[in-house]
């Protein structure tokens, strides 16, 4: 942190004077203070009165934004909010997602105080508690303090707004916001323990000073308490967080494939550290989002559903009282107009009704067989040989599996949670780069990754991630674990512990180099039985903890004999529960080159990716392949930059308006060649005779398509 940022100079902006007393600031004064540097993008204002649709205003139009806020406040809604980051102007409606951010003007926290709006136990009680929290956390002085009507918002305004549309800036700002959130929460837990709302999302909204907080029937003004603090650069805040004291020692990284004694220590540590709200919060996120967006009449139903899901974590993660408090805190961000005790009754009733449904523990993965575990060990339990309860499916509560992990440049996720995926490609096609892009995407979203590397070394893999823009903090032991196996002894005993990172189970597991890995374990890459053993040893334990697996493999050299998968056993393809990605190099990769690789979708068991791909019928294409996108690696300036783009939408000139179906392209080409060669009208029989080697049925369908699309004209003549 620079010396300038340690002082508390006067801030001359529009009426927000430098005194410790409460300031009756208006919405206009606050918006001018916050967005006064005229950052890129537009200001978002919205709330309950406009059903969260909101409106956007240029950063030079603070007066219009303030007028709209006053209009919403006069309508009597629960609250009026502004989005902290500005939005990209092209967003059609709504407050957008993180990736829609244009500029970051400040970082902030939402620190609730115990009171009428926060009746659950565990909140700080006084402003002195909050001051002590930030002091102990070693954070720089906030630029401003806002009274939200129920809690306090400390703001750290940026003297130089960060343009989030610049490469890497969105990830940088998101990382600093995430670090601030986690650091304050760690100290709150240490000092209280106190509850702190999660606000690391750059799309987060805050109550707007100059408006009214009408939560729970009250009418508390949201107002600025002080704005005497200095402004900071984002680099200042990042440096301050790196230097800030930690309330407890950082967890020690676990050694790859540690010995049996170390595994016990890792397992004990994992159990202790996962006894937090984070697994439950992550698991329940879709239900909490439905609860937040529900209308008043729907809230009890959504609350009941969320409580039943949350009961899964009782008593392994929480007591019933802790889980109830978590849901009551979530309820405060809704339009719920009932009393806390009524909500508590609903939650406890749901816990009781779900008690018999969620108590079955997931079996710990064990692996039979000599070097893969204990000699002659058998899996406990019935091993699936019992009827499956179909009640949830028949009741309509089953939902199809959708890809949620990894990403393409347009934001399309590529991997299914809890499913097996594979990449098959020739050497030098970028398959490890493709895998690392998915690793980076998971890490940026706060996920955890286990990387098992059978081919390379830590320096290469971590170096590539850093060159891609991945922040070093994302590669710490609580989020990323790298393993370079050198032997095969007792893999089955060691893998379950490696899958449990200090903050929870891995979300993504990479197996880089299947052929080398199978060879290391004494398995035959060409053998059907050994392929099943590989899956039982390394894939199934990862799926059991809910992780997606992604393995890289080779393809046979003969392109036409390759089919839809990699080298070796067809069992590899048949057993995949997720997706198979086939990579075909179009332009060579290397230093001072721009390489390009087509990524083809060879299998999509859950059918959630095909909608994002287009048919592919290139030379030697296997039937059914879909073009999912292009992997581009640009190293023309000496440093590799990698991205995965959607497939091009344009088609060849002859298909501009009427693209030929993939199944008919060969027959259509043959028919057109015969007609062009003869240069005269032909009968159907003559066309069929000229298209030797094609089935008559295909030729007939090709003629029908050509006629329907105006490419061939039928002339009625005399019968022969």
Q: How many domains does the chain have?
A: 4
CA pair distance 540, 369, nearest whole angstrom = 15
The pair of three-digit structure tokens given for residue 678, joined into one six-digit string? 């003869």
Identify the helix (H) or strand (E) that includes residue 641. strand 641-645
Indicate whether 568 pLDDT > 70. no
Range 65-72 average pLDDT? 94
Same domain, 632 and 664: no
Considering 2-16, 480-494, 511-525, the range whose residues carry the highest mean pLDDT is: 511-525
| Cis amide linkage into residue 193, ω under 30° from 0 | yes
Is residue 370 in some structural domain?
Answer: no
Of 243, 271, 297, which one is at a domain's C-terminal end? 243
For residue 230, what is the domain's CATH number? Answer: 3.30.70.1790
Of 354, 370, 393, which one is at a domain's C-terminal end? 354
Same domain, 294 and 206: no
pLDDT tens-digit series, residues 660-678: 666 677 888 888 888 888 7
Is residue 700 in some structural domain?
Answer: yes
Q: Which residue has the tokens 């029908």?
A: 704
pLDDT tens-digit series, residues 437-449: 999 989 988 899 9
Which pLDDT does position 618 carry in this prediction?
A: 65
Which pLDDT does position 510 carry in this prediction?
A: 95
Which pLDDT does position 512 carry in this prediction?
A: 92
Is residue 435 in some structural domain?
Answer: yes
pLDDT tens-digit series, residues 126-178: 888 888 889 888 899 999 999 988 889 999 999 989 999 887 788 888 888 88
Same domain, 145 and 36: yes
The three-class DSSP label of residue 354 is helix
Is residue 169 in some structural domain?
Answer: yes
Same domain, 328 and 349: yes
> Concatenated DSSP letters for 384-445?
T-SPPP-HHHHTT------EEES--TTS---EETT-EEEEEE-TTS-HHHHHHHHHHHHHHT
Same domain, 624 and 509: yes
pLDDT band at 433; cut points 50, 70, 90: very high
Is residue 389 in some structural domain?
Answer: no
Is residue 427 in some structural domain?
Answer: yes
Same domain, 620 and 661: no
Query: Per mean pLDDT, which range of 7-16, 72-81, 619-628, 653-662 is the poorest?
Result: 7-16
Higher pLDDT, 380 or 489: 489
Same domain, 676 and 556: no
Same domain, 172 and 302: no
Is residue 106 in some structural domain?
Answer: yes
Range 71-77 average pLDDT? 90
Which pLDDT does position 537 carry in this prediction?
A: 87
Question: What single-letter DSSP state applies at residue 55?
Answer: E
Indicate whether 268 pLDDT > 70. no
pLDDT band at 467; cut points 50, 70, 90: confident
pLDDT tens-digit series, residues 207-218: 999 999 988 888
Indicate whether 557 pLDDT > 60. no
Phi first, then psi: give them for residue 112, nearest 5 degrees. -80, 150
Same domain, 27 and 163: yes
Which pLDDT does position 607 carry in this prediction?
A: 83
Indicate whether 369 pLDDT > 50. no
Which pLDDT does position 719 carry in this prediction?
A: 46
Indicate whether 558 pLDDT > 70. no
Is residue 388 in some structural domain?
Answer: no
pLDDT tens-digit series, residues 704-715: 667 666 677 766
Considering 167-171, 248-252, 374-378, the range whose residues carry the highest mean pLDDT is: 167-171
- Domain of 698? 656-708
Question: What single-letter DSSP state applies at residue 698?
Answer: H
Range 32-58 average pLDDT? 90
pLDDT band at 517; cut points 50, 70, 90: confident
Indicate whether 124 pLDDT > 50. yes
Same domain, 277 and 235: no
CA 271 to centroid of chain Cα atoms:
25
Which pLDDT does position 80 carry in this prediction?
A: 94
Query: Per mean pLDDT, which range of 392-396, 413-417, 474-478 is the poorest?
Result: 392-396
Indicate whether 90 pLDDT > 80. no
Which pLDDT does position 248 carry in this prediction?
A: 59
Same domain, 235 and 266: no
Of 627, 649, 671, which one is at a domain's C-terminal end? 649
User: Backbone dihedral region of 138: left (phi > 0), alpha (psi from -120 to 50 degrees) or beta?
Assistant: left
pLDDT band at 198; cut points 50, 70, 90: low
Higher pLDDT, 462 or 8: 462
Which pLDDT does position 380 carry in this prediction?
A: 42
The three-class DSSP label of residue 161 is strand
Residue 690 CA: distances (Å) to CA of 55, 224, 683? 65, 84, 11
């Amino acid at each position: 942190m620079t010396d300038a940022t340690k002082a508390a100079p006067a801030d001359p902006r529009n009426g927000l004077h430098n005194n410790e007393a409460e300031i009756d600031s208006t919405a206009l004064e606050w918006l001018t203070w916050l967005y006064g540097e005229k950052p890129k993008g537009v200001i978002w204002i919205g709330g309950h009165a406009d059903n969260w649709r909101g409106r956007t205003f240029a950063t030079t139009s603070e007066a219009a934004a303030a007028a709209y806020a006053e209009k919403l406040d006069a309508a009597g809604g629960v609250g009026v909010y502004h989005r902290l980051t500005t939005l990209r102007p092209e967003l059609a409606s709504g407050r957008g997602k993180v990736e829609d951010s244009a500029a970051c003007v400040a970082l902030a926290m939402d620190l609730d105080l115990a009171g009428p709006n926060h009746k659950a136990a565990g909140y700080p009680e006084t402003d002195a508690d909050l001051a002590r929290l930030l002091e102990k956390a070693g954070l720089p002085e906030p630029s401003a303090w806002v009274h939200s009507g129920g809690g306090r918002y400390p703001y750290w305004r940026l003297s130089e707004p960060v343009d989030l549309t610049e490469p890497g800036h969105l990830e940088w700002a998101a990382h600093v916001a995430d670090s601030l959130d986690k650091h304050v929460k760690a100290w709150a837990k240490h000092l209280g323990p106190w509850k702190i709302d999660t606000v690391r999302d750059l799309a987060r909204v805050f109550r707007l000073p100059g408006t009214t907080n009408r939560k729970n029937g009250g009418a508390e003004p949201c107002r600025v308490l002080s704005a005497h603090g200095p402004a900071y650069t984002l680099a200042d805040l990042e440096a301050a967080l790196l230097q800030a004291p930690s309330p407890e020692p950082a967890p020690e990284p676990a050694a790859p494939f540690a010995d049996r004694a170390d595994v016990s220590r890792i397992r004990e540590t994992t159990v202790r550290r996962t006894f937090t709200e984070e697994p439950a919060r992550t698991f329940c996120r879709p239900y909490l989002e439905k609860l937040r967006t529900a209308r008043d009449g729907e809230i009890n139903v959504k609350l009941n559903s969320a409580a039943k899901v949350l009961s899964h974590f009782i008593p392994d993660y929480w007591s019933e009282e802790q889980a109830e408090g978590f849901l009551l805190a979530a309820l405060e961000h809704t339009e719920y107009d009932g009393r806390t005790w009524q909500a508590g009754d609903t939650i406890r009733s749901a816990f009781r009704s779900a008690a018999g449904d969620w108590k079955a523990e997931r079996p710990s993965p064990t692996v039979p067989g000599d070097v893969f575990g204990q000699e002659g060990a058998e899996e406990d339990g019935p091993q699936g040989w019992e009827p499956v309860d179909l009640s949830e499916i028949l009741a309509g509560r089953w939902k199809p599996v959708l890809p949620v992990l990894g990403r393409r440049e347009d934001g399309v996720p590529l991997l299914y949670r809890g499913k097996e995926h594979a990449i098959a490609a020739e050497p030098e096609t970028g398959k490890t780069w493709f895998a690392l892009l998915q690793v980076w995407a998971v890490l940026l979203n706060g996920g955890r990754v286990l990387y098992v590397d059978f081919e390379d070394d830590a320096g290469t893999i971590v170096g590539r991630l850093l060159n891609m823009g991945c922040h070093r903090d994302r590669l710490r032991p609580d989020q990323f674990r790298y393993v370079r196996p050198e032997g095969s002894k007792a893999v089955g005993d060691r893998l379950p512990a490696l899958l449990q990172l200090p903050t929870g189970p891995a979300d993504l597991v990479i197996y880089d180099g299947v052929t080398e890995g199978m060879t290391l374990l004494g398995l035959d890459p060409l053998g059907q039985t050994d392929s099943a053993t590989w899956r039982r040893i390394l894939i199934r334990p990862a799926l059991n903890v809910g992780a997606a697996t992604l393995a890289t493999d080779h393809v046979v050299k003969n392109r036409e004999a390759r089919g839809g998968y990699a080298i070796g056993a067809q069992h590899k393809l048949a057993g995949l529960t997720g997706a198979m990605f086939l990579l075909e190099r179009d332009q060579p990769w290397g230093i001072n080159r721009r390489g390009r690789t087509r990524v083809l979708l060879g299998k999509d068991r859950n059918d959630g990716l095909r909608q994002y791909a287009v048919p592919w019928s290139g030379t030697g294409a296997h039937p059914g392949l879909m073009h999912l996108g292009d992997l581009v690696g640009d190293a023309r300036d000496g440093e590799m930059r990698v991205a995965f783009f959607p497939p091009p939408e344009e088609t060849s000139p002859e298909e501009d308006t009427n693209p030929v179906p993939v199944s008919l392209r060969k027959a259509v080409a043959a028919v057109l060649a015969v007609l062009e060669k003869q240069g005269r009208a032909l009968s159907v029989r003559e066309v069929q005779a000229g298209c030797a080697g094609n089935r008559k049925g295909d030729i007939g369908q090709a003629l029908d398509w050509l006629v329907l699309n105006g490419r061939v004209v039928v002339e009625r003549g005399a019968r022969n």
